[in-house]
Amino acid sequence: MSRKERDRLKVVEAVREKRLKQGEAAKQLGLSLRQVKRLVRAHREEGAAGLVSKRRGQPSNRRIEEVERTAVMACVRNHYADFGPTLAAEYLRSFHGFTRSTETLRQWMIEADVWAPKRQRRKRPFQLRERRSCVGELVQIDGSPHAWLEARGPRCTLIAFIDDATSRLQYARFEPAETTRAYLLGLRAYVTRFGRPAALYSDRHSIFTKHDPEDPTPTQFERAARALGIEPILALSPQAKGRVERSFQTLQDRLVKALRLAGIDTVAAANALLPRFIEHYNARFAKTPKSTQDAHRALEIEAEPLRWATSEQYQRTLSKVAVVPVPGAAVPDPDPGGAGLSPACGADHRL
């Protein structure tokens, strides 16, 4: 007998010995008066054995048929063997008509040794930073070099812009490497679509800051951000920009598998898939901001000045170069003013 059944036995014996009324026994056991009468009758006819459940050792009447379980696990092994239970359940519901809970699938996958449960995470040794209140108040930017195409294609980097208030994936694009030009293109695309955010939050990569304290010249990205009136903020640790770091953990799981199932093996095709994936990702993981106000500001700049501001710009020195005369052609004067000018400085920009 279980402990619960032994407790019931003492109460039922007290009722049979007239030491306790049936109504009081019902209150103690949390049962109806009819249930207490049934227990008393079973004890009278069978003794203590009458209080033991007749279903013990038998399968539940609500159990899922083994045929369905076998079919689901076969589908998981064939298509989603390295998926976690939550992601596998989403794909099964979308494409295979799966109607059971995620927890049911998790237990099946554990019993079949398809998935191992994770250890309980330790408590964070640092205090979480609260989200910003408004969309566009702070945008976290970062790049993630990873085998996004696995062995089917080249290794590349995902450049991502994550809104701090909502965790929405605002911009994402695959690039061959994490470069200044990749971030400048991302910044141009972001402000064209959403407007200018109040601040950009990044790590201390050389793209965003110079590590020489004696060099006051800003980096290309810092110059472009300030030209647009956007404040660049540098994080002192990876935990400080945890929104984008955790987003990359999720993307390295879900996006890699989405690219695999779509059979994508080129960076161009992966970029073509991204808009649809971003829409699904935001619907699944985006949070509601505390404030409905949008902190993005109007762009207030034409297309050509924006292209100039978000391009790589370098200073070049113009010098007098000997010109080889061409028969029949006029030879240009290198110093038409005749003032004996020294080499001049000019600007070179790469769009």
| Residue 269 pLDDT greater than 50, yes or no | yes
Tell me how far apart the alpha carbons of residues 300 and 68 are, in angstroms, rounded to a whole number. 59
CB 33 within 8 A of CB 23: yes
Residue appearing with tokens 């994550």: 162
| Per-residue tokens: 232 | 């660049």
| Residue 6 pLDDT greater than 70, yes or no | yes
Buried b (16+ CB within 10 A) or exposed e, 267-297: beebbeebeebbeebeeeeeeebeeeeebbe
Asked whether residue 313 is assigned to any structural domain, the reply reads no
β-bridge mates for residue 224, sequence order? none
Whether residue 82 sits in one domain with residue 37:
no
Give the number of domains in the chain. 3
Tell me how far apart the alpha carbons of residues 50 and 37 are, in angstroms, rounded to a whole number. 13
Whether residue 221 sits in one domain with residue 167:
yes
Among candidate residues 285, 316, 346, the one where a domain is terminated: 285
> Which CATH number do you get for residue 162?
3.30.420.10
- Predicted pLDDT of residue 116: 87
Whether residue 204 sits in one domain with residue 72:
no
> How much is the pTM?
0.72
Asked whether residue 94 is assigned to any structural domain, the reply reads yes
Dihedral sign, Cα of residue 87, residue 92, residue 94, residue 99: negative
Asked whether residue 127 is assigned to any structural domain, the reply reads no
The secondary structure of 282-341 as a DSSP string is HHHHPPPPS---B--B---S-HHHHHHHTSEEEEEEE---PPPP-TTSPPPPSSTT-S-P
Q: Is 233 helix (H, G, I), strand (E, B) or coil?
A: strand
Asked whether residue 338 is assigned to any structural domain, the reply reads no
Whether residue 45 sits in one domain with residue 83:
no
Q: What is the mean pLDDT of residues 309-313?
A: 92
pLDDT tens for residues 130-177?
899 999 999 999 999 999 999 999 999 999 999 999 999 999 999 999
Whether residue 209 sits in one domain with residue 100:
no
| Residue 51 pLDDT greater than 90, yes or no | no
Domain hosting 262: range is 139-285
Among candidate residues 226, 260, 285, the one where a domain is terminated: 285
Asked whether residue 238 is assigned to any structural domain, the reply reads yes
